[in-house]
Amino acid sequence: MDYHLERGLRLHTRPKYKNLYSWAINEIDANGNRVGEDLIPWAWSLYFIATSCALSDSIDLKTKYGSRDDALPIPEITERQVISVQLRPRDEDYWGSGTKFSMFGTDRAINSFELAIEPLANPAEQENCTAWGSVSYTAEVDFRNSTTDDCVVFYLAVKPDTFARYAAKVAAGSVDEIAFRIGSASGFYAEWSPGISTSSVKVLTRGDEHAVQIPEGLKFEPPRLGEVGAAALYINRRLEFAKRAADTEDDDEPARPGGTVLVAPEPKAAVAAPEPQTLKALRSLKRAAWFIVSLLTLIFLALVLRS
């Protein structure tokens, strides 16, 4: 297995700022010369944003068969549920710039961060968070070389009820964003800073590839990936409400409430009353019409009788 490292590591107890920290780790080149500044454990918070999320529900059956005389074997059943969240470092910190993560001994940016959320096997246990990581390496698999990138994985174990709530949100698609924060995490190093943010973080794994030269006679092991002192998970659901178009062009007019609008019918226009002279003429015409009708009726009857 060939690890992709360019520099070695050395711990020294005579740091640049002795009054601020008592020891530090330096990267060294092939000649043993220091490269870069002193790096000490980073105790402040580090922030990540989710890029994708998946819910995995699996079962694994393993049955061991003995002789034919053995009773029917009982399979060993392993069920597992896990929420896998792909992460990336948050783009901006309090000072407006992001944080670059790289493994000790390299300048490559770590692009693979993952959060695995699982339920506790024993609900009485305390919820906890740990971290694991690996330096990029190339290995021969089935007579072919396979390269694995630098990666860091966080494991968050929560109460079964809490996990069920998270899983229901993911399964229903009721998640718009996930944020993850860690603090006081072993294995993360940076230059000393009076602030609470840093632009560069180095990661020290537990693997043999990250061997650290320790001064002779000193029994000390620098903190490596493992325990995470503080962790916070935020699973958010966001709803955006569309703005209602204004009823008028006057922006100062307050928006009217939505809903069903009932419009009252407009009243019919009132008909003007006729003048008295007009009414008198209409009555005369009415009498003349009745006289003509009566006269025509008499003429018709006379003609009928004569025939």
Residues in the chain: 307
Q: What is the pLDDT of residue 264?
A: 46
Q: What is the pLDDT of residue 73?
A: 74
* Residue with more model confidence, 140 or 163: 163
Average pLDDT for 281-307:
69
User: What's the pLDDT at 74?
Assistant: 79
What is the spatial distance between Cα 301 and Cα 307, in angstroms, rounded to a whole number? 10
Q: Where are the domains of the chain?
A: 2-58+76-236
pLDDT number for residue 67: 57
Strands (E), the chain: 2-3, 8-12, 24-28, 34-41, 46-62, 76-89, 100-103, 112-119, 128-134, 137-141, 144-148, 151-158, 177-185, 188-190, 200-203, 212-213, 228-236
Query: What local confidence, expressed as pLDDT, does residue 280 receive?
Result: 63
Vertex 167: Cα angle to 166 and 171 (nearest 5)? 125
pLDDT at 134 exceeding the cut of 60: yes
Could you report the per-residue pLDDT of 88-123, keeping only the tens digit for each? 999 765 555 689 999 999 999 999 999 999 999 999
C-beta separation of 149 from 3 below 8 A: no
pTM: 0.75
